[in-house]
Amino acid sequence: MTVTADNRPGERGMTLLAVMAVMVVFAIGLLAVAPAVQLEVQREKELESIRRGEEVAEAIRQYVEFYRGAKLPNSMDELLEGLPQGTKKRQILRASAAIDPLSEDGKWRLIKAEVSTLGPFAKRVQTFNGGLLPSNPSQVFDRFALVLVNTLNTGTESDSTEPDDSDTEILTENTPFIGVASQSRSKSVISYYGIENHSKWIFTPLFRGAGASNVRGARPAPAMSGTDAR
């Protein structure tokens, strides 16, 4: 059969329609999987924030123990500089861990050793651990924890899920701190100590006994410095 020139435009039109149909089906498929992909990306971002936060908590522990509880770090730079070891410095924090992937500017919110900030988190940890607080890593932290233990009746269950809309000043430098938290006030995909709000995840060496940390909604659960993830 001889193909004439008159047949070719019709064939090209059918081919174009077929290509467009395939593209439409492909676009619909992308729209269907987009929410799942976005959720997975957010989950991985939160897991990385938790890993880095736990590294900062471990660095704070080493810093406070080195100075026998006499001083707290005043900035993230102090942790990055490390601790004196002979004529050199011993590194206690990686540069990447000093950056919070959930905050727009990458800076951690510095948490002062105050009941108003640490109290609600301590309450959540206590509830999550069946009414008990994990032990402190060292006696040098006892004086920071004692006040909290005596005020654990503060805070409510809603602390774990409601957004942090308070007007509390966000401190990111030049203040003595015993923990860090994200500046993000969004609800999380992952549940950390039963808490589902980024700004309420506090990473501190206080209450970090074995088995204290538990991340839900993570696939797979991360292995965290100084804690057990289940």
From the list 102, 210, 106, 217, the residue with the least C-alpha distance to 164 is 102
Q: What is the pLDDT of residue 114?
A: 87
Instruction: Identify whether the C-beta of residue 206 lies closer than 8 Å to the C-beta of residue 148.
Output: yes
pLDDT in tens, 4-35: 555 566 666 677 777 777 777 766 765 665 66
From the list 126, 155, 136, the residue with the least C-alpha distance to 204 is 136
Beta strand 195-197 with 88-90 is unpaired
Q: What is the pLDDT of residue 189?
A: 93
Residue 226 resides in a domain: no
Q: What is the mean pLDDT of residues 40-66?
A: 94
pLDDT above 70 for 160: no
DSSP for residue 110: E
pLDDT above 80 for 147: no
Q: What is the pLDDT of residue 210?
A: 38
Residue 7 resides in a domain: no
Lowest-confidence range among 86-90, 156-160, 175-179?
156-160
Residue 177 resides in a domain: yes
Residue 84 resides in a domain: no
Question: Residue 178 belongs to what domain range?
Answer: 99-216
Residue 168: pLDDT band (50, 70, 90) is: low
Q: What is the pLDDT of residue 39?
A: 85
Residue 59 resides in a domain: no
More confident residue, 63 or 32: 63
Domains held by the chain: number: 1
Residue 180 resides in a domain: yes
Q: What is the mean pLDDT of residues 54-82?
A: 95
Mean pLDDT estimate for the chain? 78
pLDDT above 60 for 109: yes
Q: What is the pLDDT of residue 12?
A: 64
Residue 171 resides in a domain: yes
Instruction: Identify whether the C-beta of residue 151 lies closer than 8 Å to the C-beta of residue 119.
Output: yes
More confident residue, 162 or 59: 59
pLDDT above 50 for 230: no
> How far does the chain reach from its first CA to its final CA, in angstroms?
71
More confident residue, 216 or 135: 135
Residue 205 resides in a domain: yes
pLDDT above 90 for 126: no
Q: What is the mean pLDDT of residues 89-102?
A: 96
